[in-house]
Amino acid sequence: MKELVVAGSTGLLFACAAIREQRHDPRTWNAQLRLLADQGFTAVDFSELWLPMADLSAGDVERLADGVAAAGLDVAGVSIVDVPLACPDKQAEAIAKVCRAIRVTSRLGAPFLSLGFHALPAPGMWPPQWQASDDDEFERAGRNLAPLAAEARGEGIELTMEMFERGVLDRSANLLAIIAACGAERVGANPDLANLLRPPWPLVEEWDQTFAALAPHVNYWHVKNGMRIALPEGGAAYQPTDMQSGTIDYRSAVHEAVRAGFRGPLAIEHYGGDAITHAARGRAYLTTIIEEVCAYEGVEIKEFRTK
C-alpha cells in the first residue's frame, strides 16, 4: 500500500440502502468490497457503520480478509466509535472495546485504528453526546490511551482520534490536551473536518484553524465535504457536497498536511445521494491533488510499510 493512498470507507456501502440490509450476511461481503474496487479504490477503511468491527468473530475476520484479498484491496485502517475514554462511567467498557478492535485490526493487517469517542446515531437522529468540561477528563483519556497505544504499537498499529461535532473531540484544543496527556508519540489526530461543519450552532473554530493546530499530529484522515449555509432566521444548515465543492479547501489542506509530515491514508466518506459515485469522483480529485502537491513539495510517495 502506498503512502497517502485514498481509501474508500465501508460507510459508503452503508449509505446505499440496497446494500445496507445485506451487510450482516458474510456471503455478500466479497461483492460489496468489489464495488469499491470497481470504482478505482485500492484500499479500504472499515467503518462500524457497516459492521461492528470490534465484535467480529475470528471466522468473520477471516472471511472479511478473504474478501479484501479477492477484491484486490489493501486495508488502510479500521474505524470504531462509541469508545468514550474520557468518561469515568464508561471508560472500562471503552477500554475493553478498543482492545478487541486492536486484535481485529491486527488480524486484518491494517496499520491504523481510528477511535471515535461519540456513539453511533439512532435511526433518524444524532443523540446528545457526553461533553468533557475540565482538564481531569483530558488527563483520564490520556491515561487510558497510553497503554492502549503501546499495545497497538506492539502489533504494528497506530491509534488516532476522530473529531466529531458533539462531544469531547469537537475542537483542536481538546485533542491537543489529550495527546499531551497521552504522549505525542503514542496517538495521533484524525481531523474529520466536515463533521465540525454540521451543527446548527456557531462554530467553535473555522476548519482551517482546526487543521492548522492539528496538522503536525495527523496520522489518519477521514475526508468528506459539505456546504455550511447561514440561515436568515439564525443558525446554519449543512448540505453534503462533492470533495471539491464544499466549504473545506482540500487542495490547501493537503498542502499543509504534507508539509507537516503527513504520509498516512485518507479515507473518503459521503452521506447523501449516490455516495459510492460521489466518493469515486472524490478519489480521482484527491489523487490528482496529492500527486501535484508531492511534486511541488519534492515529496516521493513510497510504499507504506506495515507490520
Residues 13-22: tens digit of each pLDDT = 888 777 777 7
Enumerate domains of the chain plus CATH numbers.
6-297 (3.20.20.150)
Coil, strand or helix at 2: strand
d(CA 19, CA 102): 27
d(CA 71, CA 41): 10
Task: Say how many C-beta atoms besides its own lie within 10 A of residue 99's C-beta.
Answer: 14
Q: Which three cell numbers stand for residue 107?
A: 488480524
Residues 184-194: tens digit of each pLDDT = 788 999 999 99
Instruction: State the alpha helices, DSSP H only, in the chain.
Output: 11-14, 17-20, 29-38, 58-71, 91-107, 135-154, 172-182, 207-214, 250-259, 275-297
Q: Considering the chain, what percentage of its residues have pLDDT values greater than 70?
A: 94
Q: What is the mean pLDDT of the chain?
A: 92
Q: Considering the chain, what percentage of its residues have pLDDT values greater than 90?
A: 79
Coil, strand or helix at 4: coil
Mean pLDDT of the region 228-239 = 92
pTM score of the predicted model: 0.95
Has residue 132 got a pLDDT over 90?
no
